[in-house]
Amino acid sequence: MNYGICNLSIVPLRSEASDKSEMISQVLYGELFTIIDENKKWSFIRLEDDQYEGWIDNKQFALLSEIEFTDLNRLPKKYSSNLVDIITAETEELIPITIGTNIAPSHFLKHQFAGDYLSSFSKNAIIGTALNYLNSPYLWGGKTPFGIDCSGFSQMVYKMSGIQIKRDASLQATQGEVLSFIEESEPGDLAFFDNEEGHITHVGIIMENNQIIHAHGKVRIDHLDHSGIFNSDTNTHTHKLRVIKRIA
């Protein structure tokens, strides 16, 4: 079995082994993964944190031995807390990183990080962390302030609060405890929404005063009621509420 680490800031994870293929997620600096299959140009990987799978360009990561992978995986997480920060390579070249990047393995890559980071976590930090992403543009498969999708947003915010959840909204909806009513919810709980076929396609983070922060066009704050999300800009309901979950 082969292993790898992302040594670049933001790398696309694709559904097929092609630059033209759909980006289904992103691999951020410091993320570890197992290589399941490979060819001359591409590797099919499974990310260690959330077990998500996809294809990554062989030029966009560094190989690890099993011992190195195990040792790095044991390191306590340290997540960069500024929207954008810089890591310095041995050559003094600069590598930009974004909020939520795990900089714990930087020493292994012989990189230096002098910015702010989180090393202790609390669910109480979820809303404050979520607000850092406000107005980030929607991007299918995105996980950064420069482009993020609804489940990437909830996953990154939860991760920076010390809670690992799955990647897609439909997968996240299988986790946690079901709440019967909006009135039972607390800031930081997740609300899930379905389409006409009944498939869960959207997720947002519940705030105080029946508000919700979610990625829809951009990361925005809207009103949540028993029907779903009410967009004050268009005066319409944009998403139909399916279930509310409390995770951790």
User: Which amino acid makes up residue 241?
Assistant: L
CA atoms of 121 and 157, how far apart (whole Å)? 11
Q: Which of 150, 216, 226, 239 is catalytic?
A: 150
Catalytic residue among 6, 111, 214, 239: 214
Burial class (CB in 10 A: 0-12, 13-18, 19+), 167: buried
Q: Where are the alpha helices (DSSP H) in 5-95?
A: 66-73
> 196: Cβ–Cβ under 8 A, 6 or more apart, which residues?
none
Is 6 annotated as catalytic? no
CA dihedral 230, 235, 236, 241 (to 10 degrees): 10
Q: Would you call 239 a catalytic residue per the annotation? A: no
Active-site position among 111, 202, 216, 239: 202
Distances (CA, A) of 70 to 20, 100, 118: 33, 21, 22
* Core vs surface per residue 122-158: b (16+ CB within 10 A) or e: ebebbbebbebbeebebbebbbbbebbbbbbbbbbbb
Distance between CA atoms of 3 and 131, rounded to whole angstroms?
A: 34
The yes-or-no answer on residue 202 being catalytic is: yes
Residues labelled as active-site residues: 150, 202, 214
